[in-house]
Amino acid sequence: MAMNNLKFDASDALLAAFDVPNGAKWAMEARGFAATNLRRMGAPVKRDEYWKYTNPTGLTALPTPKAALFINDETPMFDGVDRVKLVFVDGVFDAAQSDDLALDGVELETLEDALRKDIHWAKDLFGVLEANGQNPVERPLAALNTAVATQGLVIRATGKTDKPIAIRYIHSADTSDAMVHHVVKVDAGANLTVLESGPGAARFNSVMEADVLDGAAFHHVRTQGRDHERRTATHMFGRLGADSIFRSFTMTVNGVLTRNESILEFTGDNAKATVGGASAGDGNGFHHDDTVFVTHDSLNCESRQVFKKVLRNGATGVFQGKILVKEGAQKTDGYQISQGLLLDDNSNFLAKPELEIYADDVACSHGSTVGAIDDDALFYLTSRGVPKSQAQDMLVLAFLGEAIDEIDDSALSEGIHIRLAEWMERRHG
Amino acid sequence: MSDVIVKEGVEEETVQAVQSLGGKYKYGFETDIEIEYAPLGLTEDIVRLISEKNNEPEWMLDWRLQAFARWQKMEEPDWAMVDYPKIDFQDIYYYARPKSMAEEKPKSLDDVDPKLLETYAKLGIPLKEQALLAGVEVSEEERRVAVDAVFDSVSVGTTFQEELKKAGVIFMSFSEALKEHPELVRKYLGTVVPQSDNFYATLNSAVFSDGSFVYIPEGVKCPMELSTYFRINAENTGQFERTLIIAEKGSYVSYLEGCTAPQRDVAQLHAAVVELVIQEDAEIKYSTVQNWYPGDENGVGGIYNFVTKRADCRGDRAKVMWTQVETGSAVTWKYPSCILRGDDSQGEFYSIAIANNMQQADTGTKMIHLGKNTKSRIVSKGISAGKAQNTYRGLVSMHPKAANGRNYTQCDSLLIGDKCGAHTVPYIEVKNNSARVEHEATTSKVDDEQLFYCRQRGMDEEEAVALVVNGFCKEVLQALPMEFAMEAQALVAISLEGSVG
């Protein structure tokens, strides 16, 4: 009982900690609905089954835990890509550092502006995909985000676009508590690429609701930077129409606490989705959690989940993946692989790869492996004159490479490869 | 006897053979004998009564009461993927025994009520010491199985006790063991599955009535297979038995367990606890064919099977192998586990779980690797048909000190029909880098090409499915002792009866 009260005290405190902004009637209703939902669920606690492997305290504690700023001289991610750049500092849109909100084939505005308009297409999406994603598993941090977030982007792709939208998050205050909410709609037959990079804030809570209509393609690549003390919780809610394509990939290095949830739902036939991730964790403080929930509710769809984690010096990697195939979702092809590579004796890999299947004409499989670097492969390389530490790095990068290959754009995957190679290098420094 | 009209030339024997495999639950009969019940419901007095009926020592009663006090504060777990009406624990009889067993226990099987013996004969369980299991043609010397027959709350008798005694093996009912070897029982009881382990284990600790006790002394290879046969007969009664097997240094035993119950339209509860203690270089093989009444095709009646089974490999190089064929029960909640404490110890789990009609099974294993160089292997085959739900739930945990631990897990699910479900919920926790853990799972339907191949050769669809399914289960069936493998193979076919077309 005491535990339950704790949950509800925490959710009330979180709601009270943020000012609820003004907006159009529909937006206020969506926020109110999410707040009610959150009050009903309570904040997540370690005892919750869905948080079995990740302690959510750092994501819900008040006041916001401090995270010292991390200064580095790396070139910002995706700088070499021809893109529309949009910058958020501690979760607040910074127009001065951003490009114009203009791109052929795309309608782009800030969440704040969109939610003030009485008539807006976002009405059918804002908080809607998030609310759908609360069943059968509750995601209180996403409800909190919908209830209080004012910052974010509202993006609608109406045709073919050739430039990606690149969102850059800058962390500049050591107690910033950011709530960012993006709404994305890719119209039938249209395509869109969204890139996200940077740690964002001392504590960063982001939600992206992406509606990919029939025959549309959505591509999402995200990197969560080297900021050691930051905490992050992200939710990607994807809805896939018939013949659509959805791809999302995340690279994470460092960070005290990262929980990335992807919740995808197939609603039309013949669609394809891939969710992938490569993470490299160094040190006791590192805790990284990928939680994926894919629901098949239509015919002949294909989903892939590919997650790789390299862990050293006491780092912890978590994977919770689920493929749910509803009754009648025949001809589903579901695939899921999660692998952990432990570079020393202190690191942990915890996984819960689940299948829940109610249709018989399906092919679903999952695999999960954990272990150290393969001695035979290491011997092969060293016997050919490659120094041991270099041979190890090669094997680690090859291991992560299998996940990075899920990015269907060589210019983007190349940048990720380089970052991870640099991460390996730093071990020797 | 057959009242079926058959074509000329078809032998009566064939008809009977086919009928016996005829898909209906064939152990659903009821034995009509006088039963003595404890009063309905569960109170401290009932716990005292059970203890008194068994003439237990004081410490045993205290242990039960302790468990009962704890149980009253516990809540029924709800995390398994099974759905059943809430159990009214006050609407169950916690103790039932045939009146003929009441006063003085029969001295030998010859004194046992013939009706009871008849029941076991009908079930195909050899209670005569010279009896052999049907279909096995080997010399008497090689193939003997000692049986402990448990009927509702009491053990009816145990065969081959004298001969086992010569080898130093103790095999008797739990209640007898409490009288004859209280020191052994006291030393090991609750050390593998503690009183407080979980809701059903705690309930069992308070009200268990009987069960089997096995002790294999150092260096002894048990001269025959041991077996316990559980039969629920009385209506509205829970069966709570407790099995404790201790294998001392360098010993070996193979133990078989079978279960059936009459066909009734009210669900019945079965909550057992099995504890295995395995010392250095010892090995236990534990095989179960669970065929409790599964309820009818609309989900009416059947057994709720909530069982806690755990093996503790205490010594180095200890070995345990769980093999289970789960075809019965309306609801199954069962996770035979291995604690691999000794260095180089090994745990294996082979399982076939078949759920048809409205059956629900949530079953799997836990492999807890604590010692160095420990190995485990999990092969689980789940088959769902009708409107059944079948879940594999398992844990593989490599502790920081389990250097060079190895695990391989394979879970395959087969779906027959589009109204059933197959689910996999594995937990993998690895905390040291010299360990290697591999987990694979697949879910698919019966392969059309394989079916076509069989049909082409003249099999009907149901036969073809049974054959394909048997192939799917092969790895597990091979791990069973021979008699069980044959029974299991037939069961696989029967359980799927009516699932096609």
CA distance B466 to B464: 5
Query: Taking CB atoms and an 8 Å limit, are A370 and B442 in contact across chains?
Result: no
Q: Does A326 touch chain B (CB under 8 A)?
A: no
The closest CB to that of A366, out of B418, B427, B441, belongs to: B441
Mutate to test the interface with B, among A341, A357, A392, A399 (most CBs of B within 10 A): A357
Cβ distance of B439 and A359 shorter than 8 Å: no
pLDDT for position B24: 65
| Nearest chain A Cα distance for residue B69, angstroms | 20
A166 alpha-carbon distance from chain centroid: 15
Beta bridge partners of B377: B348, B408
Confidence of residue B375 (pLDDT cuts 50, 70, 90): very high
**Residue in chain A lying closest to B405 (CA):** A371
Residues with Cβ within 8 Å of A191's Cβ and at least 6 positions away in sequence, in order, are A157, A160, A161, A216, A217, A218, A219
**Would you call A353 and B431 a contact, using CB atoms and an 8 Å cutoff?**
no
Chain B positions touching A372 (Cβ under 8 A) are: 433-434, 436
* CA–CA–CA angle B170, B173, B179 (5° rounding): 80
A388-404 vs A375-383: helix crossing angle, rounded to 10: 120
Measured between CB atoms, does A344 come within 8 Å of chain B? yes
Residues 34-73 of A with CB under 8 A from B: 49
pLDDT mean across residues, chain A: 93
How far apart CA B274 and CA B254 sit, in angstroms, is: 15
Distance from CA of B70 to the nearest CA of A (A): 18
Cα(A82)–Cα(A61) distance, rounded to whole angstroms? 39
Nearest residue on chain A to B397, judged by CA atoms?
A: A350
| Residue among B365, B392, B363, B388 nearest B376 (CA) | B365
Whether the Cβ atoms of residue A357 and residue A326 lie closer than 8 Å to each other: no
Question: What is the pLDDT averaged over residues B265-292?
Answer: 92
Structure tokens at B85: 């009406």
Q: What percent of chain B has pLDDT over 70?
A: 87
Domain edges within chain A: 2-268, 375-429
Nearest-CB residue to A354 (from B419, B424, B442)? B424
Pairwise CB contact (< 8 Å): A366 & B439:
yes
pLDDT tier, B319 (very low <50, low <70, confident <90, very high otherwise): very high
- Rounded to whole angstroms, the maximal C-alpha distance in chain B is 70
Q: Does A352 touch chain B (CB under 8 A)?
A: yes
Residues in chain A within 8 Å Cβ distance of B394: none
Question: A305: distance to nearest CA of chain B, Å?
Answer: 14
In angstroms, rounded to a whole number, what is the distance separating the alpha carbons of residues A15 and A145? 10
CB of A355 within 8 Å of a chain B CB? The answer is yes
Of the pLDDT bands very low, low, confident and very high (cuts 50, 70, 90), residue B371 is very high
Chain B residue numbers with beta carbons less than 8 Å from the beta carbon of A356 are: 81, 421, 423
Q: Which amino acid is at A76?
A: P
pTM assigned to the model:
0.88
Amino acid at A12: D
Q: Which residues of B touch A327 (CB under 8 A)?
A: 418-419
State residue B258's pLDDT score: 83
Residues in B touching A358 (Cβ below 8 Å): 420-421
Interface predicted TM-score (ipTM) = 0.87
User: pLDDT category, B95, cuts 50, 70, 90?
Assistant: confident
- Distance to chain A for B181, nearest Cα, Å: 43
Query: What does the pLDDT read at residue A48?
Result: 94
Compare CB distances from B444 to A340, A352, A363 and report the shortest one's residue. A363
Predicted confidence (pLDDT) per residue in B385-422, tens digit = 889 999 999 999 999 999 999 999 999 998 888 899 99
AA identity, residue B242: R
- In order along chain A (429 residues), what is the average pLDDT of each group of 10 residues? 77 92 93 97 95 96 92 83 95 96 92 95 97 96 97 96 94 95 98 94 97 98 89 98 98 92 98 96 91 97 96 94 95 95 93 94 91 92 93 92 91 89 71
Which among B419, B433, B437 has the least Cβ separation from residue A347?
B433
pLDDT at B237: 82
Query: Given a cut of 70, is residue B296 above it in pLDDT?
Result: yes
Asked if residue B276 has pLDDT above 50, the reply is yes
**Cβ separation B425–A352 shorter than 8 A:** yes
In this predicted structure, what is the pLDDT of residue B3? 44
Summarize the confidence of residues B40-55 as an average pLDDT. Answer: 92
Interface membership of A399 toward B (CB under 8 Å): no
pLDDT for B68 = 96
Query: Which of A316, A362, A370 is most worth mutating to test chain B (most B CB atoms within 10 A of its CB)?
Result: A370
| Cβ contact A366–B79 (<8 Å) | no
Contact B418 A360 (CB under 8 A): yes
Name the residue among A61, A59, A69, A62 with its Cα closest to residue A89. Answer: A69
SS3 label, residue B425: strand
Under the banding of pLDDT at 50, 70 and 90, the label for residue B127 is: low
Q: Which residues of A touch B388 (CB under 8 A)?
A: none
Q: What pLDDT, on the 0 to 100 scale, is given for residue B443?
A: 84
Model confidence pLDDT, tens digit, residues B433-444: 999 999 988 888
Report CB contact under 8 Å: A365, B421: no
Q: Which residues of A touch B437 (CB under 8 A)?
A: 368-371
User: Which residues from chain B sit within 8 angstroms of residue A346, using beta carbons?
Assistant: 400
Encoded tokens for A32: 């109110």
Position B17 confidence tier, pLDDT thresholds 50, 70, 90: very low
B129 has a pLDDT exceeding 60: no
Confidence (pLDDT) at B6: 44
Instruction: Give the pair of three-digit tokens for residue A146.
Output: 């919908």
* Mean pLDDT, residues B222-248: 87
**Crossing angle, helix A410-428 and helix A388-404, to 10 degrees?**
150
Mean pLDDT for chain B overall: 84
> Does B37 score more than 90 pLDDT?
no
Q: What percent of chain B has pLDDT over 90?
A: 45
The distance of B117 to chain A (nearest Cα, Å) reads: 44
Cβ contacts from A onto B, under 8 A: 115
pLDDT band at B471 (very low <50, low <70, confident <90, very high): confident
pLDDT in tens, A143-181: 999 999 999 999 999 999 989 999 999 999 999 999 999
Q: Does A376 touch chain B (CB under 8 A)?
A: no
Task: From A156, A16, A152, select the one nearest A91 (Cα to Cα).
Answer: A152
**Cβ–Cβ contact A347 with B under 8 A:** yes
| Closest residue to B426, CB basis, from A345, A346, A352 | A352
Residues in chain A with CB shorter than 8 Å from the CB of B398 are: 370
Residues of B in contact with A370 (CB under 8 A): 398, 428, 430, 435-437
Residue B238: pLDDT band (50, 70, 90) is confident
Res B501: pLDDT: 47
Element (DSSP H or E) covering residue A11 = helix A2-17
Q: What is the pLDDT of residues A197-249, one digit of tens each?
A: 998 999 999 999 999 999 999 999 999 978 889 999 999 999 999 999 999 99
pLDDT in tens, B341-352: 999 999 999 998
> Residue A254 in contact with residue A223, Cβ under 8 Å?
no
| Rounded Cα–Cα distance for residues A280 and A404 (Å) | 13
As a whole number of angstroms, the distance between CA B358 and CA B310 comes to: 28
